[in-house]
Amino acid sequence: MRYAYKSLIKILGLKRIGVNKKVNQESLEVIKTDTIIGKHVYGNLYGCDKKMLSNVELLKKLIVEAAEIAKMTLIEVKSWKFGGEKGGVSVIALVVESHIAIHTWPNYEYAAVDVFTCGEKSDPDESFEHICRVLAPKKVVKHFADRSAIQY
């Protein structure tokens, strides 16, 4: 799925437009805005290779590449490795525009990916897609949240 960020179409919250039941997104009222505060792409990657999900250096390199591809300005990368059955790796890139995070659970072949940017020229979708290409999950559940302010 691609998002038109230059003339971002914001889907208003269901409660704000008086919808209290689940509806198809295409039926929601939309507004156009030129003000982009935040774009947030996040998701769950299932069926990833356990060795890749355990490899701190690979994940650090991957998050740096993802920042470059998305035209984000990297400040710092931090990583942590956790032991135990539910252990895994967390890698977080602090970027001028916001952050990229990868959290892994190798025993479950699962990774959670979070890419947030408030930069007008950065593209969190490109970052997310690059991470998916490298980790090659069998299944991806992807979400987008518009973190821009709604003008009243």
Domains of the chain by start residue, with CATH: 39-144 (3.60.90.10)
**99 catalytic per annotation:** no
**122 catalytic per annotation:** no
From 48, 98, 127, 132, active-site residue: 98
Nearest alpha-carbon partner for 11 in 24, 30, 27, 33? 30
**40 catalytic per annotation:** no
From 54, 79, 118, 148, active-site residue: 118
- Higher-confidence position of 74 and 1: 74
Residues 75-121: tens digit of each pLDDT: 999 999 999 888 999 999 999 999 999 999 999 999 999 999 987 88
Whole-structure pTM value: 0.75
73 band by pLDDT with thresholds 50, 70 and 90: very high
From 48, 103, 130, 132, active-site residue: 103
